[in-house]
Amino acid sequence: PISNGQNGVPMIGIARSSDVFIAPVSGIAKGIQHPAMFPDSLAEQLILTFSRENDLVVDPFCGSGTTLVAAKRLGRDYRGFDRNQKYVRIALGRLAEN
């Protein structure tokens, strides 16, 4: 594919995904008590865009584990950390279910 590089100079062989990700809020997991939930589909789109199968996805503030669940589902290795043990338990439970 041909895309525009800096200063409008064409570059051959560089493909670029859209700058816009669409993730309906209806995709947020139900019944989980966390103040900053986001749709699984958003995490999936980002993981697919920026990693390959078997890559490592690290979420240093994993909260309820949405990113970790998406990484597991997409065949990535994953590591998550959170200071709040309540959220660590939620994330571990979600990973066990998926």
Token look-up 């995490």 returns 43
What pLDDT shows up at residue 44? 94
pTM to 2 decimal places = 0.76
- In Å, what is the CA distance from 6 to each residue of 3, 18, 72, 76? 10, 17, 36, 33
In angstroms, the CA 14 to CA 77 distance is: 27
Of the pLDDT bands very low, low, confident and very high (cuts 50, 70, 90), residue 2 is: very low
In angstroms, the CA 92 to CA 98 distance is: 10
Among the listed residues 69, 25, 71, 68, the one whose alpha carbon sits nearest the alpha carbon of residue 49: 71
Tokens found for residue 58? 């690290």
Q: For residue range 15-74, what is the model confidence (pLDDT) as tens digits?
A: 566 677 788 887 788 888 887 888 899 999 999 999 999 999 999 999 999 999 999 999
